Structure 1
């Protein structure tokens, strides 16, 4: 049970600190969209798209470096400092009056966030050395992120009924401050100094596992589907509500809350479904749902009038949230299944970077193309990208994807001590059967054994 994790007081404080920071970030998402509209009006989508593109560039470039070197810093002091920096930045946002200032502050804010996330992730295995507890902690983190997606817009909608959106930035700063206080009260062990080659080894290990594992190549396609549909929500909601539907600030928060509700509904129902069906059919169904959501959004963009558009938009945004949860919730399970424990941090870092690379492609499209060509052209373009990602996932992730695979090792290529349970086939080969992942002893995905023997004989 996840509740048993919270008996560990250090983990409880860290988890609460992460939740507090997540809710602060969620309020910033709503407030930033409204700030962009306040400064740029009809060009808000381009401004917000640029700001989020800057965020993705930072995540793709900064996060992998910090993930590799997080153990070189006094981690408690580092996490507290990053929260203080983030609080100071969001407190400055309400006072800006130039668009370029948004870009500068967002770059600094997201650099701090990109450093915080991998450092926090590196701490959790030290706080929870038991593999089963660490696995439950990953599930708890996904649930926290899902709850933030739902509740932050709802809190923002309630707040915007009585205050200006500028005060949401104050709420964000309070969230980061609470997070910093909780981290200060937590016992966080400092890791030993990494070796000089650790950065190259960790980054290359994660990318190598992705490139060699069929199901992970399929995950890359699913990352693109999530980003294509999600960029509509993140970038285009404010302009669609204010300019097309004629809604208010609260209307923006309401649509974002509908998206979060769809995410929450599916995330809570998935564990039993995953036990029965497995990750592949659930994640592919999620991709199909996202493409359907994009199709619904395109239909909405073609409708010029009608009060029914509000109800249809709420349903569409919820549908996108549901599809997103169906892909993101099992992702950690797929990554764990595809790696040895020692390689897991590198693989999670690679997924973090590669998934944000997909957002780096779709955010500029959602922002700049909307400004130049309107919602319909933009959403059709994103739907095409999502379709390509879906097809790639179908082709790269085989339907028959067993965990335990029989494969051949050539004599002399692996430590014999690792082959004690293997069967000698002939003078050249052992047959070995176990849960197969890419690691130092298994650098390529195995072909069928007959093909392996034929290739070796040739």
Structure 2
């Protein structure tokens, strides 16, 4: 898998991604401590509002900035986004009011909503060979999973010798280093698309999704991923410390089980996709997720003691694996059904659509879980996930059926595998 790093352009871009991820991880920890420093017992309200602002920025800003920058070369777009993120990180230690955090978080996440889909859209042009691109997707998935484990540990180690305000310095260094690597990278030449009306550019990615059966299937799988992820991210700590009365270290262990399952599948995806089509792998993951979440509900309701704990660890590991089976190959669909010119719009559309699902499932899992309990909210999420899987299967009926060959103003697509 690491052979793909022999490509010098991709190696620099992947390094930029890793460094920026670590910077973002440190920022997350520092932001939580800053919120407590400013708001005290109301820190949860501040962080909840900040995370909501983050999702709103991801959903709304990504298509807009992509449309505005559609005729700008991608290299300066990435550099500018990194510099904006560094500027926000520099400013955060000096805030004294919650509303200042909200404004800076919106600017930060707007820059991230610009950087991420633009970065993702560049990689297919850097790695035109599908096998190499699949290996790159696996590395990217591993990077995201490892960051969620490494960043908190790195932050904890740094906090033993520095104050939390200095964590922002690490974030700034990360974003500057990411920008420097992008500057040092030789980007492939991509023809600038012809000038078109802003509304056409704004809706370009969404129209490709609606016109392409394969991408409509991906739209159905987005809420499946969002329901499971919301249950894990929002309610793991409630389940472990509230319902099971286990120590804080077990929260980390359970989240590590989820991340470990995801990494295991990410490592095996390149070989798996050499023998199986994307449709089968992704729909299998989509079908398994609601079943696993239902099994977790049964474990919560009817088991106790050590057997319950072991069963939940297994379920969380399998949830991570099934989620990775959907997420890791998903960019292959976006690559196949886009051209060099409209690819940023297609990636931005997926970025926006997927986070729109999180904007619904995160508060649903948190608020409804507090009202009706974890087993009951898990059943609600199971129902949403099962509906998403059905819609994905109906939209993506036949893996061998040729895709629409042309969408007005978006360019040709390729035959589905």
Q: Give TM class, smaller chain.
A: 0.7 to 0.9
Q: Give the corresponding residue for 1:153.
A: 149
Question: What's the CA shift for 1:229?
Answer: 0.6
Larger Rg computed on CA atoms: 1
Q: Give secondary structure in 2 for the equivalent of 1:402.
A: coil
Instruction: Tell me the equivalent position of 1:387.
Output: 386
Q: Distance in 2 between matches of 1:162 and 1:131?
A: 40
Q: Partners in 2 of 1:312 and 1:255 — Cα distance? A: 11
Shift of 1:4: 4.7
Residues of 2 paired with 1:104 and 1:58: CA distance?
11
Deviation string for 1:9-59 (max 9, x for gaps)?
x43222211121123334555666787799687995x76554433222111
What is the rounded CA distance, in whole Å, between the counterparts of 1:196 and 1:441 in structure 2?
A: 11
The answer to whether 1:402 aligns with 2:370 is: no
| TM-score, normalisation: structure 1 | 0.74
Partner residue, 1:212: 211
Rounded Cα–Cα distance in structure 2 between residues aligned with 1:383 and 1:100: 36
1:42–1:310 CA distance, 2 compared to 1 (3 A): farther
Seen in structure 2, the aligned counterparts of structure 1 residues 103 and 366 have a Cα distance that, compared at 3 Å, is farther
1:7 is matched with 7
Q: Deviations 1:337-367 (Å, cap 9, x if unpaired)?
A: 3345554433222222222222122122123
Aligned length: 409
Shift of 1:248: 5.6
Q: Distance in 1 between matches of 2:150 and 2:308?
A: 20
Q: Distance in 2 between matches of 1:292 and 1:138?
A: 27
Q: Does 1:140 align with 2:136?
A: yes
* C-alpha RMSD of matched pairs (Å): 4.0
Per-residue CA deviations over 1:111-168 (Å, capped at 9, x if unaligned) read 1211212333455466x3x7327x7346414422333313531452475378479476
Separation in 2 of the partners of 1:312 and 1:34?
33
Structure 2: give runs of 5+ residues left out of the alignment: none
> Which residues in structure 2 correspond to 1:51-70 (within 5 Å)?
51-70=50-69
1:264 maps to 263
CA distance change for structure 1 residues 161 and 304 in 2, over 3 Å: closer, same or farther?
A: farther
Q: Would the aligned equivalents of 2:67 and 2:201 in 1 still touch at CA under 8 Å?
A: yes
Aligned equivalents of 2:283, 2:115: Cα separation in 1 = 31
Q: Does the C-alpha gap of structure 1 residues 185 and 85 become closer, same or farther in structure 2, counting only changes over 3 Å? A: same
Matches within 5 A, 1:220-259: 220-246=219-245, 250-259=249-258
Cα 1:7–1:326 change in 2 (3 A) is closer
**Bigger Cα displacement from structure 2, 274-283 vs 293-302:** 293-302
Mapped contact 1:295–1:383 kept (Cα < 8 A)? yes
1: CA distance, partners of 2:246 / 2:204: 48
CA contact (8 A) 2:59 2:353 kept: yes
Partner Cα separation in structure 1 for residue 404 and residue 75 of structure 2 = 37
Asked whether the 8 Å contact 2:193–2:341 carries over to 1, the reply is no
1:157·1:253 contact (CA, 8 Å) conserved in 2?
Answer: no
Q: In structure 2, do the counterparts of structure 1 residues 290 and 98 end up closer, same or farther at CA, with 3 Å as the change threshold?
A: farther
Matched with 1:410 is none
Q: Distance in 1 between matches of 2:42 and 2:245?
A: 13
How much does 1:247 deviate? 5.2
| C-alpha distance in structure 2 between counterparts of 1:29 and 1:81, whole Å | 21
8 Å CA contact 1:339–1:439 kept in 2: the answer is no
2-structure distance, mates of 1:192, 1:337: 18
How much does 1:70 deviate? 2.8
The one-character-per-residue Cα deviations of 1:53-72 (angstroms, maximum 9, x if unpaired) are: 32221111111122223355
Q: 1:345 to 1:76 in 2, by over 3 A?
A: closer
Q: 1:146 touches 1:260 (CA, 8 Å); kept in 2?
A: no
Match of residue 297 from structure 2: 298
1:379 deviation in Å?
2.2
Deviation at 1:329, TM superposition (A): 1.6
In the TM superposition, what is the alpha-carbon distance from 1:262 to its structure 2 partner? 0.7
| Contact map agreement 1:33 1:238 (CA 8 A) in 2 | no
Following the alignment from structure 1 to structure 2, what is the Cα–Cα distance between the partners of residues 97 and 329?
Answer: 40
Shift of 1:189: 8.2
Residue 170 of structure 1: how far off its partner (Å): 5.4
Quote the offset at 1:93 in angstroms.
5.8
Match of 1:419 in 2: none
Q: Could you say which residue in structure 1 is the equivalent of 2:15?
A: 16
